[in-house]
Amino acid sequence: MTINPLLINWDTPHQTAPFNEIKVEHYLPAIEISIQDAKKEIDAIITNTEKPTFQNTLEALELAGAKLSEIASLLYNQNSAETCDELQAVARDASPKLTEYSNYISLNEELFKKIKTVYDDRENLTLTPEQIYLLEHTYKNFVRRGAALRGNDKKKYSEISTELAKLSLKFGENVLAETNAFSLLVTDEKELSGLPEGVIEAAAQLAKSKEKEGWMFNLQFPSYYPFLQFADNRKLREEIYRASGSRAFKKNEFNNEEIIKQIVSLRLEMAKLLGFENYAHYVLEERMAQTPEKVNDFIQDLHKYSRPVAEKEYAEVEKLARKEGFHDAVERWDWAYYTEKLKAEKYGFNEEEVKPYFQLEKVQDGVFELAKRLYGLSFKVNKAIQVYHKDVSAYEVFDEDGSFLSVLYLDFFPREGKRGGAWSSDYRPQSNVNGNPIRPIITVVCNFTKPTESKPSLLNFREVETFLHEFGHALHAMLSNTSYPGLSGTNVFWDFVELPSQMMENWASQKEWLDLFAVHYKTGEKIPDDLIQKLIKSKNFLAGYASDRQISLGMNDMAWHTITEPVNAKVSDFEKNAMNDTELFPNIEGTCTSTAFSHIFGGGYAAGYYSYKWAEVLDADAFSVFKEKGIFDKKTATSFRKNILEKGGTQHPMELYVNFRGQEPKVDALLERSGLK
C-alpha cells in the first residue's frame, strides 16, 4: 500500500512540504482522514471528565487539528499559486468538508459550555495576558460563529457557511478562467508603436510560448498595464481594457453576477441570525473601526480631501491630451497612456527610465539588506527545500544571534495556474505552546515582469513597492513571537494587518535605501541622484486620483455589505450607485468592477476594503518616527518589532500601536505625505 505523503511526519528541512512527492490525488483522502482524527481530538476535550480549565480546554483546542490545518494550508496555497483543473476540483470537494468540520467545532454545544465555564471563571484564574486575550477571543469567536444559536438557527448557520465557502471558491475560479481566456495577438509591427523594447520582447516571448507568430498580450498585470501605459493604438488599448473590465460579467458559464447576489444575501442572512443589522456591523465588531458609520465617516472625510485634487489631476491630463491632438473624452483606457506622458512632462522621466535600475535580483538584495539593517535578519537559500514550481526559491531566515526564524518561499512570475495580484500567506504559523517552539513557513507570491531572452526581470517602481508591501506581511509572520498559533503573525484585526506591509512601502522612495542596491543592470552604474529626486518628487503624482480610486472600492464594498434586504438590482447598477461620487470617467457599458472584485467576494476583505486607507493613516504616522530618527534607526526598528511585529494578535491593536508610537495615530501625516492637504 502506497503511503500518502500528506499523512506522515515530513523528514525534510524544517518539516517543509515534500512537494516532489505530493500529487493532486493525495489531498482529498488526507483531508478526510485528518478531519476524522481532528474530530477525535475535539471529542477528547468534550468527554474529559475533569473540571474545564484553560489548559484542558482552550489550549487543547488550539492544538487540535494541527495536521488538518497543515494540509488545508497546503491545498489552498497551491490552489492560489499553482493550480490546475484537477486541483480546483479537489478544492471544491474539500471546501464543504472543511466548513462542516469548522461548524462541528463552533456549533458544538458541549464544547462551548466548557469554554464558557472557563470564560465565566476568568477573574479567578492565574493566566498570562496572552492567555486572557486568547480566552476572550475564543469565547467571542464561538458566539460570532453561531455557538449560542439554538435548533433550526444553528442548522441554518451551518448551511449558510457551507454554501458561502463554495460560492467564494467558484467566484475566484471564474475570475481566473476569464483572465486566462483572453489574449491579444498583434501581427502588424506598426501596431506596437509606443511600446518599450522590453514590453515588445516579452510579448514576442509570450506568443512564441503559445506557438503563435507575432506579439501576444494578456490580462496578467506585467503585460496588461504597460500596454495601457504606452501603446499608441487607442483601439487596441480599448480592447484590452474592456476585456479586463468585463471579466466574469459576460453571458457565459463564468458570469459572477448571480454568485455576488447569493454571497451578499447569505452574508446578510448570517448576520441577522447572529443578531446584527447587516454583515458590515457583524464584521466591524472585530475591527478597529468598530461600526459601518465610523467607516463611512472615515471614507467620506478622506474623499473630501481627495476629490478636489483628483478633479484637478483629471483636468491636467485632459489638457495634455488636447495638446497632443486628442479631442474625445478621456476614457479609462486613455488614462494610463496620457498620465504617463504628463509625468514625463512634469518630472522629466517615465516608468521605463527607472526600470533598468530595478533588476529583480538587486531589488531582492535591497529588501534583504533593509531587513538586516532594521532587524538584524539574514537570508540563506536552501536548495534542499523542495519547491512547487521551478520559479520558486526557498530561503532560511536567521535572526541577528544566528537562531533560525523561518522558511521563506519567494514566487515572483505570472503563469496560468496562478491567480493575479500579490500576496503573502503561511504554510505553517509560528507558535510556542508549553516550550515547544514552532517557527513559521511563509510565502510571498507576486506577478512581476518575467525575464526575456535578452533582459533580466526589470521592475517598475510600483512593483518595487509591491515587493516591499508583501515582504512587510512576511516580516509580521516571520518575526512573530507568541505562544498560540491562533494569535500569531498576521492573525490580527483586519484593519491593522496592513500596517506592517504599508509601512515597508515607505522605504521605496528613500534615497539612502535606493543607494544600497539600485544599479543599472547592464553598466552597473549607480542610479543617478537626479533620477532619484525625480522619482521622489513624482511620488504624489495622481495622489488624489489614487486615493479616490481606493475610496471608491471601499464605498462599493461597504454598499454590498450594509444592505438590509437581498439585492434585486443589476450588479452593475448597484455598484454604479455606490461608487458614483468618486467617478471621473464616462460609464462604460459591458464592464463591471464587482464581478472580478476578488478581495471582497473571493478573499477576506468583505466589509474591510477600507482597511488599506485606514492602515495608510497608521503607516504614515508610524514612519514619521523613522523620518525623525533616521530610516535605518535600530532603536526605532527594535521598538516596532517588539511592540507590533512580534505581538501578533495578543493585544488590542490600538494598545500595540500606542506602545510603539506613544500616542494614537493622526490623519495629518497621511494628508501631508500624499500632498492632499
C-alpha cell at 230: 504606452
C-alpha cell at 272: 441577522
Distance (Å, whole) CA 70 – CA 509:
38
Short-list 53, 153, 42, CA closest to 101: 42
Please report which helix (H) or strand (E) contains residue 442, including its range: strand 441-445
Distance (Å, whole) CA 144 – CA 283:
9
Distance (Å, whole) CA 41 – CA 46:
9
13-17 long-range contacts (CB < 8 A, ≥24 apart) are 13/382, 13/384, 13/385, 13/396, 13/407, 14/385, 14/396, 14/404, 14/407, 14/439, 14/441, 15/428, 16/385, 16/386, 16/394, 16/407, 16/427, 16/441, 17/74, 17/386, 17/388, 17/427
- By CB neighbour count within 10 A (0-12 exposed, 13-18 middle, 19+ buried), where does 628 fall? exposed
Among all chains, which residue has been given the C-alpha cell 486607507? 613
How many Å separate Cα 650 from the centre of its chain?
Answer: 22
List, by residue number, the catalytic residues: 470
DSSP per position, 451-493: P-SS---B--HHHHHHHHHHHHHHHHHHT---S-GGGSTT-S-
Other CB atoms closer than 10 Å to residue 554's CB: what's the count? 29
Angle at 442 between CA 637 and CA 414, to 5 degrees: 110
C-alpha cell at 596: 472580478
Contact between 70 and 79 under an 8 Å Cβ cutoff? The reply is: no
